């Protein structure tokens, strides 16, 4: 089985996420076991693993929801534990299930988020228009979110997550439950933003063909350890398989399973993130 050895980048300024010897324990259970990896600026990075593998715990540490037991995490050169408020301004996040306020309009959801991130009035107005047009929701800006389809809600969440010009967009199962046409359309929007703004995208997915198609780099984690990391083609070559799903199964022996969450949980996670000091 291929193993990933952490190596310092020759061009450290190109690294936007730097994880070194990261450990997270809950009492006697070690959920994340001394993992190290880097994500380069502007990459689309897929973080894959079966449920219980440690990927959600890792993402929670990256987004300041959990403190590590040991090791280091830096985002944009900032220490995730010591500079939490500054780190939060570096990223946007789209949870697995909607975390929008259904009783507000699309425009009101955007403005509420802008106020949370202290985006100035002039910027929030122009940025809201730009992003809602980009995700084809400008004509529905005054519609209540509860009237939106699942795909429309996902596009609105992406627009909302980008309102404060984040350097990184975290996507946790962003296309779960969407039809293939809507999934493809959503990724087209994300790739446009990735290219236009040199925005790093860090995502998890249960759709292997999605990761194979859009990711520049894939990391596979299981039992709290990063098993391997590389481009989809690298992983297929390592495992002598024809597609990423077969490579994943050869490495982990497990199918990805959809995790259950609720819309309210997404909102609670956002509240917890901003409630932490």
SS3 45: strand
Could you tell me the fold of the domain covering 89-206+258-275? Rossmann fold (3.40.50)
- Report the range of poorest mean pLDDT among 39-48, 119-128, 247-256, 258-267: 258-267
The owner of tokens 């449920």 is: 51
Cα(53)–Cα(32) distance, integer angstroms: 8
Q: Is 54 left (phi over 0), alpha (psi -120 to 50) or beta?
A: left
Cα(24)–Cα(31) distance, integer angstroms: 6
DSSP letter, residue 105: B
Cα(170)–Cα(270) distance, integer angstroms: 13
Going from N- to C-terminal start, the domains of the chain cover 89-206+258-275
Among 89, 53, 99, 8, residue whose Cα is nearest residue 255:
53
Q: Please answer whether residues 78 and 86 qualify as being in contact, where contact means their C-beta atoms are separated by less than 8 angstroms.
A: yes
pLDDT of residue 9: 39
Helix 121-134 vs helix 180-197: crossing angle, to nearest 10: 140
Cα 218 to Cα 49, 74, 151, 201, 275, distances in angstroms? 10, 19, 25, 12, 32
Q: pTM for the full model?
A: 0.82
Which of residues 21 and 257 earns the better pLDDT score?
A: 21
* pLDDT over threshold 60, residue 74: yes
pLDDT in tens, 229-241: 999 999 999 999 9
């Amino acid at each position: 089985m291929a193993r990933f050895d952490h190596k310092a980048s020759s061009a450290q300024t190109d690294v936007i996420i730097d994880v070194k010897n990261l450990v997270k324990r809950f009492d006697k259970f070690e959920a994340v076991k001394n993992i190290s990896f880097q994500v380069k600026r502007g990459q689309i990075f897929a973080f894959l693993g079966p449920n219980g593998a440690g990927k959600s715990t890792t993402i929670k540490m990256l987004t300041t929801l959990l403190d590590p037991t040991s090791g280091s995490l830096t985002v944009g050169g900032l220490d995730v534990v010591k500079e939490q408020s500054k780190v939060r301004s570096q990223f946007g996040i789209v949870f697995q299930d909607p975390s929008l306020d259904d009783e507000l309009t699309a425009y009101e959801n955007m403005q509420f988020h802008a106020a949370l991130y202290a985006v100035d009035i002039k910027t929030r107005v122009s940025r809201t228009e730009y992003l809602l047009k980009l995700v084809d929701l400008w004509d529905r800006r005054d519609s209540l979110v509860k009237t939106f389809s699942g795909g429309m809600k996902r596009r609105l969440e992406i627009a909302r997550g980008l309102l404060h010009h984040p350097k990184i967009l975290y996507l946790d199962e962003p296309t779960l439950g969407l039809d293939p046409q809507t999934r493809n359309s959503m990724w087209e929007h994300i790739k446009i933003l990735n290219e236009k703004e040199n925005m790093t995208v860090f995502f998890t997915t249960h759709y292997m063909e999605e990761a194979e198609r859009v990711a520049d780099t894939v990391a596979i984690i299981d039992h709290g350890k990063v098993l391997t990391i590389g481009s989809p083609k690298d992983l297929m070559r390592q495992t002598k398989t024809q597609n990423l799903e077969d490579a994943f199964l050869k490495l982990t022996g497990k199918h990805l399973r959809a995790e259950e969450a609720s819309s309210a949980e997404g909102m609670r996670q956002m509240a917890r993130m901003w409630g932490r000091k």
